[in-house]
Amino acid sequence: MKKYNQIFCNKCHKITDHRQKLSAVLSGNRVCNICDRMNPVCLLTKEDNLNFSKGSNEILWLEFNEDDTFKEKYDEPKVGRSLLMSPFNNFFTWQTTPILEIIEERVDDNMNYIKFKTKNSIYELTTHKL
């Protein structure tokens, strides 16, 4: 079971309690109770665009049929799947085109990292473990 009250703070480099703040919830961030920094649980950036940054509380990996209709959702990335960033409704944060290649993938104690190529871009996704 996920603990949504804890975060890994990018500034403190510690797992801390999340402090409720409306602006953080609306932007897909968690607030460190120690230093007050807003930290996304999931952060997506583009290799070639330093101004592109999307944050969300959760992510899903979607698979589509050949006619572009929804087929299945997953918790793990794989070639052929698209990333969907929360909230999961008509106003989702971001959706990528399907993965063509997984360039790099790392897992450590506090976060997961994946660098992947789609038809349109090369993305880097960091997800903090809660």
Calculate the average pLDDT of the chain: 83
Give the β-pairing of 59-64 and 122-128.
unpaired
% residues pLDDT > 70 (the chain): 87
**pLDDT tens, residue by residue, 37-77:** 777 778 899 988 988 888 887 899 999 999 989 999 999 99
Q: What is the pLDDT of residue 1?
A: 35
Write out the two tokens for 83. Answer: 């990333």
**pLDDT tens, residue by residue, 9-23:** 767 777 777 777 777
* pLDDT confidence bin for 88, thresholds 50/70/90: confident
Q: Which residue has the higher pLDDT, 1 or 122?
A: 122
Separation between Cα atoms, residue 128 and residue 58, nearest integer Å: 10
